[in-house]
Amino acid sequence: MGSAPKKPPKHRDPLGSARSCLKTGKYTVTYHAGERQIERLVPLPDVMHAIEVGYHEKRKDRFDEAHQAWNYSIRGKATDDSDLRVVISFDDDGLLIITVVVL
């Protein structure tokens, strides 16, 4: 019998890397995140602003078994000062914006 695949290590600085990816344009908004943005009336500039001014909620990090990747929660403010949680991950191309939650 084979053992379960080992989880990859968590990213050392997901928020710093996310901000760097935004500055260089190396990010992708997943289909799910795009749907949530429409449903929750959160435009992309608000998502980006929340990442730029927010903080990493380490206790909300989760391992996604299906994609074998860590998801990280960023808590920040939209441009209208409303609270957002942006769930992010990383792949070989850069930042993945997984979902957006209005708090």
Q: What is the CATH number for 65? A: 3.30.2310.40
**Residue 1 pLDDT:** 55
Domain that holds residue 57: 14-102
pLDDT (mean) for 15-22: 98
CB atoms within 10 A of CB 6: 7
- CA–CA separation, 85 and 73 (whole Å): 6
Flag whether 47 is in a domain: yes
Flag whether 8 is in a domain: no
How many residues in total does the chain contain?
103
Local confidence band at 5 (pLDDT 50, 70, 90 cut-offs) = confident
Q: Residue 98: enclosing H or E segment and its boundaries?
A: strand 94-102
Q: What is the DSSP letter of 59?
A: G
Flag whether 25 is in a domain: yes
pLDDT (mean) for 18-35: 98
Q: What pTM did the predictor assign? A: 0.93
Distance of CA 45 to the CA centre of its chain: 14
- CA–CA separation, 8 and 65 (whole Å): 11
- List the structure tokens of 81: 């000062």
Q: Is 11 helix (H, G, I), strand (E, B) or coil?
A: coil
Q: What is the pLDDT of residues 29-86, one digit of tens each?
A: 999 999 999 999 999 999 999 999 999 999 999 999 999 999 999 999 999 999 999 9
Flag whether 6 is in a domain: no
- CA–CA separation, 8 and 71 (whole Å): 12
- List the structure tokens of 6: 């080992």
Q: Which of 2-11, 42-51, 55-64, 93-102 has the lowest mean pLDDT?
A: 2-11
Count how many domains the chain has: 1
Local confidence band at 4 (pLDDT 50, 70, 90 cut-offs) = low
